[in-house]
Amino acid sequence: MARDIDRRLVAAGRGARRGLTAAIALGFAAGIAVIVQAFVLARIVSALVFRHVALGAVRDDLVALGVLFVVRAGLSFGAEVAAHRAAASVKLSLRRLLLDHLFALGPHYAAGERSADLAATALEGIEALEPYLARYLPQMALVAMVPLAVLAVVLRFDWISALILVVSGPIIPLFMVFIGYRAEAINQRQWRQLLVMSAHFLDAVQGITTLKLFGRARDEIALIGRISDDYRRVTMAGLRVAFLTSAALEFFASLSIALVAVLFGARLIHGDIAFFPAFFVLLLVPEFFLPLRGLATHYHARMNALAAARRLFDVLDTVPMVRWGDAAVPAGAISIGCAGLVVDYGLGAPVLRGIDCVFPAGSLTAIVGRSGAGKSSLAAAMLGFVAPASGGVVVNGAPLDTLDRAAWWRCLAYVPQAPRLFAGSIADNLRLARPDAAAPAMLAALARAGLRDVVMALPGGLDAMIGDGGAGLSGGQVQRLALARAFLKDAPVLILDEATAHLDLETEAELTAAIGDLVRGRTAIVIAHRLATVRHADRILVLDAGRIVESGTHAALLALGGVYAALIGSGSVDAAASCAI
């Protein structure tokens, strides 16, 4: 399993192959520079200490040593920069891939997952891949190259030291494989705990008012405290393994270096070896272990990355339910049809049970029905957010699943019941509908939604900042801002889920007027909660338990005296709002 993820991460790194290759080549060149540096240093010391030459006689060597020092630093710096650039580009492409895939999976997938979990995967999860890509992968390549180069040089000067290196070198990778299994389990646990902690924290922050009102804030704080403590404990367990591993590896490496040194000492005393090769080899031996020790250090990063990547690949491997094609939306005024449309969330019974209807071009169709009748599901099927279990949606005769997703969404303006506003300026929120919109166009859209004066009265006007979810605006103002976005988008198809929230009479009247203006000349589908909208609709579809049970104009349906008439008769407009008229 870990190996599969490793392979997929390496494949992801292939996107930045040039950067990683440069990092490895520079790292290897730095390794060679170290060997040459050791050679020059051994020569200088040997000349000064044993041949007692004057300092001037080794001037060239001293200059070469200085140059090598600078070259080596430059190569190491270059290797670091290349590796981090390559990692940054892989992280960017993975984040794009993840976001693109989340779009393909649709809002129903995102709503089913904990958003904090997805956010943590996209941010911390992909960030955790940086050390793997920038350090572990290049180190893996260097581990095979630099120690072999060092070994070849050592063998040339002293076969006994080479033998010690050949025997002790492989202990480090072997040891790492041995502890790998334990470290992997701990890292998996640590990552799961982090996701749980992020999710709880976000829930608590978002629901702070509810928690306070129900007097549960203290319980939640205690719960977050417990989760944080679990996370601390598992992090400490991971660090313990990492430190113990490092200590054990350092011990093996030091033991080998000491063995080489002691043997040299004995042989120097007995005159079995000259000072120069002994000193040169002794300088090289730590360099033999350096990449291996580096690998051990970054092995922990690998484990962390594998744990994070598992969640990332889980999301990427989820097959989107909704299929899309690449066809353009057929030209002309858009009419939408549903043929035998069945939507089933796997709850036991389908939510929509064979819907056949047409939403003619340029007309206003209202959908009404009791709560849970399936109105939003019908809108979701037309938006392409859910996949039909059978039947489907057609746009100007073309099946929705053959259309290009982006092309279809360009034709649509969708205003949900609880519109989403982002932290930023009013202009930022408006430009979501049209990124190149200039101030006059935005002000015109605000005016049509009845919000221009309110925005102009704010400090900064269009640049006034609003909080996450529209904090700083009233409920009615948030809805009008969402309508302004739809005005600005000026799309041929409008799908609108009217808000059920009780509004004051003046706001209600203003919103009704704005909606009336917005639907004009478009193929408009409104999940209607206001009597005014239903009255003006060209046609009303009455949904009941996933079927269209009645359809016609307001007057015709009232005359019919069926489900619609019962909904209207169930009370005033306000009371009827709760059953979606």
Ligand X SMILES: Nc1ncnc2c1ncn2[C@@H]1O[C@H](COP(=O)(O)OP(=O)(O)OP(=O)(O)O)[C@@H](O)[C@H]1O
Contacts 24+ apart (CB under 8 A), 330-334: 330/395, 330/396, 330/397, 330/398, 331/396, 332/361, 332/396, 333/361, 333/362, 333/492, 333/523, 334/361, 334/395, 334/396, 334/411, 334/492, 334/493, 334/523
| Stretch 17-36: interaction string toward ligand X, x if CB under 6 A | --------------------
Give me the amino acid identity at 237: A
CB of 501 to ligand X, least distance (A): 12
CB of 380 to ligand X, least distance (A): 7
Dihedral sign computed on CA atoms, order 163, 169, 175, 181: negative
Q: Of the two residues 193 and 365, which places its CB atom closer to ligand X in the complex?
A: 365
Q: Of the two residues 46 and 533, which places its CB atom closer to ligand X in the complex?
A: 533
Q: Name residues whose C-beta falls within 8 Å of residue 119's C-beta, 6 or more positions apart in sequence.
A: 198, 202
CB of 31 to ligand X, least distance (A): 56
Q: Of the two residues 112 and 460, which places its CB atom closer to ligand X in the complex?
A: 112
Q: Of the two residues 68 and 373, which places its CB atom closer to ligand X in the complex?
A: 373
CB-hemisphere CA count at 13 Å for 144? 7
Sheet containing 523-527, strands listed edge to edge, beginning at the edge strand earlier in sequence: 412-415, 493-497, 523-527, 364-369, 539-544, 547-552
Give me the amino acid identity at 348: G
Among 345, 502, 504, 574, indicate the residue that binds ligand X (CB under 6 A).
345
Rounded to an integer, what distance in angstroms lies between the CA atom of residue 458 and that of residue 442? 15
Q: Name residues whose C-beta falls within 8 Å of residue 286's C-beta, 6 or more positions apart in sequence.
A: 253, 257
| Stretch 353-382: interaction string toward ligand X, x if CB under 6 A | ----------------x-xxxxxxx-----
CB of 111 to ligand X, least distance (A): 6
Q: Near ligand X by CB under 6 A, which window of 14-22, 211-219, 343-351, 488-496?
A: 343-351
Rule CB under 6 A: say whether 105 interacts with ligand X. Answer: no
C-alpha separations of 543 from 119, 193, 547 in Å: 36, 44, 5
Rounded to an integer, what distance in angstroms lies between the CA atom of residue 540 and that of residue 367? 6
Q: Of the two residues 379 and 455, which places its CB atom closer to ligand X in the complex?
A: 379
Rounded to an integer, what distance in angstroms lies between the CA atom of residue 105 and that of residue 324? 11
Q: Near ligand X by CB under 6 A, which window of 70-78, 344-352, 436-444, 480-488?
A: 344-352
CB of 353 to ligand X, least distance (A): 11
Helix 171-206 to helix 217-269 angle (10° resolution) is 160
What burial class does residue 171 get, using C-beta atoms within 10 Å of its C-beta: 0-12 exposed, 13-18 middle, 19+ buried? middle
Rounded to an integer, what distance in angstroms lies between the CA atom of residue 495 and that of residue 481? 16
CB of 346 to ligand X, least distance (A): 8
CB of 391 to ligand X, least distance (A): 16
Helix 275-317 to helix 171-206 angle (10° resolution) is 40
Q: Of the two residues 200 and 375, which places its CB atom closer to ligand X in the complex?
A: 375
Q: Of the two residues 35 and 515, which places its CB atom closer to ligand X in the complex?
A: 515
Give me the amino acid identity at 572: S
CB of 538 to ligand X, least distance (A): 21
Residues 188-217 contacting ligand X, CB under 6 A: none
CB of 546 to ligand X, least distance (A): 8
Rule CB under 6 A: say whether 580 interacts with ligand X. Answer: yes
Among 75, 351, 443, 478, indicate the residue that binds ligand X (CB under 6 A).
351
CB of 343 to ligand X, least distance (A): 8
Residues 441-460 contacting ligand X, CB under 6 A: none
CB of 575 to ligand X, least distance (A): 15
Q: Of the two residues 150 and 336, which places its CB atom closer to ligand X in the complex?
A: 336
Q: Of the two residues 112 and 332, which places its CB atom closer to ligand X in the complex?
A: 112
| Stretch 310-329: interaction string toward ligand X, x if CB under 6 A | --------------------
Phi, psi of 417 (to 5 degrees): -60, -40
Rule CB under 6 A: say whether 347 interacts with ligand X. Answer: yes
| Stretch 108-137: interaction string toward ligand X, x if CB under 6 A | x-----------------------------
Rounded to an integer, what distance in angstroms lies between the CA atom of residue 361 and that of residue 55? 94
Q: Of the two residues 30 and 541, which places its CB atom closer to ligand X in the complex?
A: 541
Q: Of the two residues 1 and 347, which places its CB atom closer to ligand X in the complex?
A: 347
| CA angle 137–141–142, rounded 5-degree value | 110
C-alpha separations of 516 from 336, 483, 521, 524 in Å: 20, 11, 10, 10
Q: How many residues bind ligand X (CB under 6 A)?
A: 13
CB of 345 to ligand X, least distance (A): 3
Q: Please say whether the beta carbons of 466 and 426 come within 8 A.
A: yes
Give bridge partners of residue 495 from the DSSP assignment: 414, 525
Q: Of the two residues 182 and 547, which places its CB atom closer to ligand X in the complex?
A: 547
CB of 77 to ligand X, least distance (A): 52
Beta strands in 321-397 (DSSP E): 336-343, 352-359, 364-369, 390-395
Helix 439-448 to helix 475-489 angle (10° resolution) is 120
Placement of tokens 């109105």 in the chain: 375
Q: Of the two residues 374 and 384, which places its CB atom closer to ligand X in the complex?
A: 374
Residues that bind ligand X (CB under 6 A): 108, 345, 347, 351, 369, 371-377, 580
